[in-house]
Structure formats: C-alpha cells, structure tokens
C-alpha cells in the first residue's frame, strides 16, 4: 500500500510540481498584501486623533465637507467608519470601482484614494489564472482550469504524502519530526521535504480545499452541499452584492433627489448607543452593516427609515443566510485572515513551504535517478 501511494505521489508531482510551486509562492506573496499596502501608505490608512477628541463627525457633516473636495460627477454609494480611533472613513462611489476614498473622520479632509500595487495585481493573476484571466467574471480560461486541476491533484499529493510519511515506530516518528543539518545535503533536503511537508500539510489542505471553490462550479455546489446549503447566485465565493447608490454628491437636474444625510446621523447615534464596540460600520442607502469581528465576519444589519433615521428592523448575524456565511468563511480560511496576524504568519510559512516542496522533491528524485544509473 505504501509503495502504491509512493508512486501516486511521485508521478503526479513530477508533471505538476512547477505549477504548484508557482501557485504557492504567488499565494504567499498575497498573504500580507493588506498590511504591506497600509505600511507603505500611512497617510491614507491612518489618521491622527485630535487630543481629547475621539468623536468622529456625523455622516451629514462628513458629506457636506466632502462635497467641497470631490467632483460633482461622483455618486456616493457607501461609507465606512472604522472601529479604531485612528482609522479613516472609507468612502466608495457607484462610478468608481475597486478603490475607496480615505477621509479624516474628525476634520472631513480627504487623505487620498486607496492603493493597489501592480505587483500584487500580477501575483493575484498568477495565483488564480497563471496570468490567463477569464474574459468575463465566472467564465473559464485555460489558466483557471489548469490551476483548478492542479489544486485538485495537490490534495491527492498531500494525502499520499501523509500516508508515506506515517511512521511505524516511535523512533522513526522522532526522526521524521526534525531536520538534520549535520548529515550532508541530501539528508538535509530529505528531512526538509518530509518534516516540513508534514508540518504544513494541514494548512495546505485547507488552502487547497477552500481554493477549489474559486475554480469549479460543481465543486462549489458540493462544498456548500456538505453544509446543507447551496451557493448564492454570485459566481465568486467571496464576491459581494453591488452596493446601493446613496445619491449624487451634488444632486442637480431633473429627476435627481438628494439624500437626507441628517437621517443617517440619527441612525448613527442609535447604532453607537446599541453597540459598545465594533470593527466597522458601513452605511448604505437605508441600512448600516455592523461588523463585530475583524477576522471572521459577524455582521448585524440595521435597516432604518431614510426619511427620519428611525430603525425599522435589525437583522442579527445569526440570521445571515448560511450560504453567505460560508462564502465569508471559505475566503477567511483560504487566506488565513480568520485568526489575525498569527494565522497569517502560519499561512505565509505554509504557502512558502508548499512552494519549496516540489523543488526539494525534484532534487531528491534527480539524485535517486542519478544514483541508480551509475
């Protein structure tokens, strides 16, 4: 049985090793994209808290000050207050995709647009599609199919590797849990492949099994079915519904009505009184999404009357559709964001090791073949 799994492990790994290294290395570079981007742009992602003043401006005052600093054509769709005192308000617009405007919550001053670096964009395309993205969202491409099939077979490689690794005695177990650095290069690479492979297997399996929901519709349906639900109509497991348009920054012309942001002020006061702590508050046309966790999403939705700001309904996170929760969980467990910085470090190490494993496997295979031909 062990020999059979050894052959499965070897002959699947040889043709797919380079592809799996590319997927793992590119994934590792994306783990800390958010933290690196924020570190490189502190003026956009952090604000100075005025001495003795930790109360942000209400929505109506923020919008009034924002109107004097942005183009008339921008149509506000939502804005988000952070839970920490030094976080800016992030404003999104209906006609500006993939970026938000950072605004000081105490002065209403615009800090600038959020950043997205070409390096990370390229790594994402490499990780998901091998630089061959689909022509439209939800469609297939050669790169997407190759990544999906390779990830599926990676699960087989990991499981077969675990079967091969499984020790027959305690002495063998001790040897397989440590890397020898004093018995030559071949022993070092063998121990690294065997030991580090074992330590990273669980994380790599989680990444692979959750990542497959991006690749195949049939797998996504199967994964959701295991939890007693079906995927929502969105094609991507971590896509979000389009935000509602709150209104133009400057309502001009026939047929356009200006949103009464003083109603948002009253709704804001109600939420602040009801929730003592939160990770973020996201305002849309007639609702506030209260996210109570920075890692695994736990969001209550407070709907309010847009005329007077009075709450009309509160939908607790426990009533969130299961498919929506799963979409969030799959994303969190794929990226390592579910446990904060600690799980991100573990995911980075596991993804990096996942990239090294095929290379060390190639080296060991080449050494073995070279020895057998002598």
Q: What is the pLDDT of residue 257?
A: 61
CA distances from 301 to 33, 35, 78, 329 (A): 28, 27, 14, 18
What is the torsion angle, in degrees rounded to the nearest 10, for the CA atoms of residue 160, residue 144, residue 360 and residue 32?
A: -110
Backbone φ and ψ for 5, nearest 5 degrees, come out as: -65, -30
Q: What is the pLDDT of residue 235?
A: 42
- Give the distance from CA 81 to its chain's centroid: 20
Task: Say how far apart CA 218 and CA 140 lie, in whole Å.
Answer: 13
Indicate whether 122 and 176 sit together in one domain: yes
**pLDDT for 94-146, tens place per residue?**
988 889 999 999 999 999 999 999 999 999 999 999 999 999 988 899 999 99
Residues 367/186, Cβ–Cβ less than 8 Å: yes
**pLDDT for 285-295, tens place per residue?**
899 999 988 88
Q: What is the pLDDT of residue 340?
A: 93
CA distances from 241 to 169, 176, 314, 360, 365 (A): 54, 48, 19, 43, 48
Indicate whether 122 and 99 sit together in one domain: no
Q: What is the pLDDT of residue 240?
A: 45
Q: What is the pLDDT of residue 2?
A: 86
Q: CB-hemisphere CA count at 13 Å for 42?
A: 3
276 in a structural domain: yes
Indicate whether 270 and 207 sit together in one domain: no
Residues of the chain with pLDDT under 50: 235-242, 253-254
Given 320, 347, 362, the domain boundary residue is 320
Residues 127/144, Cβ–Cβ less than 8 Å: no
59 in a structural domain: no
Q: How many CB atoms lie within 10 A of CB 77?
A: 20
Q: What is the pLDDT of residue 237?
A: 45
Indicate whether 189 and 286 sit together in one domain: no
Q: Which long-range contacts (CB under 8 A, 24 or more apart) does 162-168 make?
A: 162/198, 162/201, 163/1, 163/2, 163/5, 164/2, 164/5, 164/6, 164/9, 165/194, 165/197, 165/198
Q: What is the pLDDT of residue 296?
A: 78
Q: What is the pLDDT of residue 233?
A: 60
CA distances from 127 to 25, 213, 297, 312 (A): 8, 14, 24, 44
Q: Which domain covers residue 153, as residue numbers?
A: 2-33+118-212+335-372
Residues 348/303, Cβ–Cβ less than 8 Å: no
- Type and span of the H or E element at 15: helix 2-30
Task: Say how far apart CA 62 and CA 90 lie, in whole Å.
Answer: 11
Indicate whether 208 and 123 sit together in one domain: yes
Q: What is the pLDDT of residue 251?
A: 53
45 in a structural domain: no
111 in a structural domain: no
44 in a structural domain: no
Indicate whether 167 and 87 sit together in one domain: no
Radius of gyration of the chain (CA): 25
């Amino acid at each position: 049985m062990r020999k059979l799994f050894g052959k499965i492990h070897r002959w699947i790994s040889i043709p797919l090793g380079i592809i799996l290294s590319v997927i793992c290395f590119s994934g590792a570079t994306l783990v800390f994209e958010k933290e690196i981007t924020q570190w490189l742009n502190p003026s956009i992602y952090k604000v100075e808290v005025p001495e003795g003043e930790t109360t942000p401006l209400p929505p109506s005052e923020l919008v009034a000050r924002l109107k004097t600093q942005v183009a008339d054509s921008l149509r506000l769709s939502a804005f988000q207050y952070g839970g920490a005192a030094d976080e800016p308000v992030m404003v999104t617009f209906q006609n500006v995709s993939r970026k938000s405007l950072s605004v000081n919550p105490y002065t209403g001053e615009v800090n600038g647009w959020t950043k997205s670096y070409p390096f990370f964009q390229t790594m994402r395309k490499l990780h998901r599609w091998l630089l061959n993205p689909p022509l439209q969202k939800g469609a297939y491409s050669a790169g997407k199919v190759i990544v999906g099939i390779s990830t599926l077979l990676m699960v087989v490689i990991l499981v077969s590797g675990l079967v091969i690794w499984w020790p027959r005695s305690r002495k063998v177990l001790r040897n397989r849990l440590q890397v020898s650095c004093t018995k030559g290069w071949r022993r070092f690479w063998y121990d690294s492949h065997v030991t580090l492979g074992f330590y990273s297997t669980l994380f790599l399996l989680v990444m692979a099994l959750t990542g497959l929901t991006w690749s195949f519709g049939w797998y996504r349906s199967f994964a959701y079915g295991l939890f007693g639900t079906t995927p929502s109509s969105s094609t991507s497991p971590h896509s979000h519904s389009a935000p509602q348009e709150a209104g133009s920054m400057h309502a001009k012309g026939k047929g356009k009505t200006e949103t009464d942001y003083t109603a948002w002020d009253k709704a804001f006061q109600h939420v602040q009184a009801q929730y003592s702590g939160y990770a973020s508050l996201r305002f849309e046309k007639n609702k506030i999404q209260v996210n109570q966790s920075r890692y695994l999403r736990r969001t209550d939705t407070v709907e309010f009357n847009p005329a007077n700001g009075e709450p009309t309904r509160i939908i607790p996170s426990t009533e969130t559709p299961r498919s929506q929760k799963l979409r969030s969980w799959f994303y969190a467990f794929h990226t390592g964001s579910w446990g904060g910085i600690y799980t991100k470090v573990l995911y980075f190490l596991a993804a990096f090791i996942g990239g090294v494993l095929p290379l060390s496997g190639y080296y060991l295979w080449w050494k073995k073949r070279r020895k057998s031909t002598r």
